[in-house]
Amino acid sequence: MQTDRGYKCRITNIVSLTEQEKLFQLRILDPDERNLFRFRPGQFLMLQVPGYGEVPISISSSTSNNEQVELCIRKAGHVTSVLFDAQKGAHVAIRGPFGSSFPMEEMMDRNVILVAGGLGIAPLRAPLFWINDHRDRYKDVHMLYGTREPSQLLFTYQFEEWEKINHINLHTIVEHGTPDWSGRTGMITELFSEIDIDPENTYAIVCGPPVMFKFVCNYLDKQGIPMNRMFVSLERRMHCGMGKCCRCMVGSTFTCVDGPVFDYWSVMNLKEAI
């Protein structure tokens, strides 16, 4: 579903994840609208902070949970800075959902590799929730997640749940370790040495810094995974979310309107997309 419908919401909880990122849990005020609201993994919302403007934010929650909408937000501008000062109970509004989504049904009965760099894990939570809701319909699922430093890892409180309850094979790495970090250090592509890839039966979902796309997707391409079975999210380019400001324009393509989810074959044909 894609709609310009607006919903008034109340912030029901705020979870501080790092110094720069917080998870905002919203509840749509009107019960009928709450029941009506639907989205697909990979889509985004326009989040309105009354009096200050609106920003596009990817949806980080489960498609099966109508009780709350979760948005993982980095403090990176005027609107998000105001939002970071908001308290539980404050009112905001959302419009949407907008944009393309990951083809989760197409991936069923196959292996799935999710690769996230930094804040890129935020839009990948929705497909993770989807897989968990239909876990028996997916084969091996690997989650590869890397950040620059250990303190930048998001959703660490869910790692054990993903591994032990949802049977997700989680692999984490940081570029620069700290004295108390006992995990892996290096680039995220080094995690591929820990998994066996069956290219005939594997899909990949990738989200993170643009430079990561090239290295990750090129590696998967060399392993034999077809480009039309690799999906990336180019949401970092978005600004107005409606194709009006042209800041996300690549050639004749608006990533906010035509994306943010593209298969890698399409991305390779978008000059300077990554």
pTM of the model as a whole:
0.90
How far is residue 22's CA from residue 20's CA, in Å, rounded to a whole number?
7
Residues annotated within the binding site for [2Fe-2S] cluster are: 240, 245, 248, 256
Alpha helices in the chain (DSSP H): 31-36, 78-84, 121-133, 159-164, 210-222, 255-258, 264-268
Q: What is the chain's mean pLDDT, rounded?
A: 91
Res. 256 pLDDT band, cuts 50 70 90: low
How far is residue 264's CA from residue 272's CA, in Å, rounded to a whole number?
13
- Domains in the chain and their CATH numbers? 6-98 (2.40.30.10), 104-233 (3.40.50.80)
How far is residue 143's CA from residue 242's CA, in Å, rounded to a whole number?
31
Task: Supply φ then ψ for residue 55, to 5 degrees.
Answer: -140, 150
Q: Which long-range contacts (CB under 8 A, 24 or more apart) does 81-86 make?
A: 82/49, 82/52, 83/24, 83/47, 83/49, 84/22, 86/11, 86/14, 86/49
Least confident of 115-129, 141-155, 201-215: 201-215
Least confident of 25-29, 58-62, 176-180, 245-249: 245-249
Q: pLDDT at residue 240 above 70?
A: no
- Looking at residue 234, its pLDDT comes to 80
Q: How far is CA 24 from the centre of its chain?
A: 15
Inter-residue contact 83 to 24 (CB < 8 Å): yes
Residues annotated within the binding site are: 240, 245, 248, 256
Question: What is the Cα Rg of the chain in Å?
Answer: 18
Q: If you average pLDDT over residues 248-265, what whole number do you get?
A: 75
Q: Which two tokens stand for residue 88?
A: 């539980």
Q: How far is CA 257 from the centre of its chain?
A: 17
Inter-residue contact 256 to 56 (CB < 8 Å): yes
